[in-house]
Amino acid sequence: MRTSLKGQDAPQQQEISTLEEIVQRQGVHAALKYLNSRTPHRYTGIFRFDGDVLHNELLFDRYDSELLKGGATPMEATYCSLVGRQEAPLEITDSAVDDRVKGVIDTSVVSYCGVLIQDEAGKPFGTLCHYDMQRCEERTTDLPLLQAAAAMFYQKLQTGKTK
């Protein structure tokens, strides 16, 4: 699968091409590690919507070389729920001062950047996101790269070929 690079500048095109090669040759696990290396956030994960529940499909922790697969969380307690409702990327540098989430979500996640993963029909499937329990000063996340990855990952998740 070739991801559309239309409208991307040359560095973004190169990063998307690199990511696509990693996904094809090494799988989603290696691609999550690559994405995580580009952000100050500790975690990079894929989460799936399931009604009122959010399932942790795959999670990369920068400080633990094992790729984790976790449990379920009530959807409304997560930033992913906001990405799903808005069907748009969400970036939060510091949740303590971000009015969009004050009083809405009670969580230990302080910094977050997530994009929507959609199925072939455009229906929200889940999110691909970076997050951290600390404030991340620099916003180095490349949203076009995350959005390109989300499309690539959905296809791999459906075939069960994530390694």
| pLDDT band of 3, cuts 50, 70, 90 | very low
Q: What is the DSSP annotation of 47-91?
A: EEEETTEEEEEEEEETTEEEEE---EEEGGGSHHHHHHHHTS-EE
In this predicted structure, the answer to whether residue 131 has a pLDDT above a threshold of 90 is yes
- Segment 21-48 shows an average pLDDT of 93
- Segment 55-73 shows an average pLDDT of 83
Query: What's the chain's average pLDDT?
Result: 85
Q: Does domain 10-159 have CATH number 3.30.450.40?
A: yes
Q: Identify the pLDDT of residue 156.
A: 82
Biggest alpha carbon distance in the chain?
A: 43
In this predicted structure, the answer to whether residue 51 has a pLDDT above a threshold of 70 is yes
In this predicted structure, the answer to whether residue 127 has a pLDDT above a threshold of 90 is yes
Q: Identify the pLDDT of residue 4.
A: 45
- Segment 133-162 shows an average pLDDT of 81
User: Of 138 and 113, which is predicted with more confidence?
Assistant: 113
In this predicted structure, the answer to whether residue 49 has a pLDDT above a threshold of 80 is yes
In this predicted structure, the answer to whether residue 11 has a pLDDT above a threshold of 80 is no
Q: Identify the pLDDT of residue 100.
A: 82
8 Å CB contact between 150 and 128: yes
pTM for the model: 0.87
Distance from the Cα of residue 129 to its chain's centroid: 2
- Segment 120-133 shows an average pLDDT of 94
| Helix, strand, coil fractions of the chain, as percent rounded to 5 | 35, 30, 35
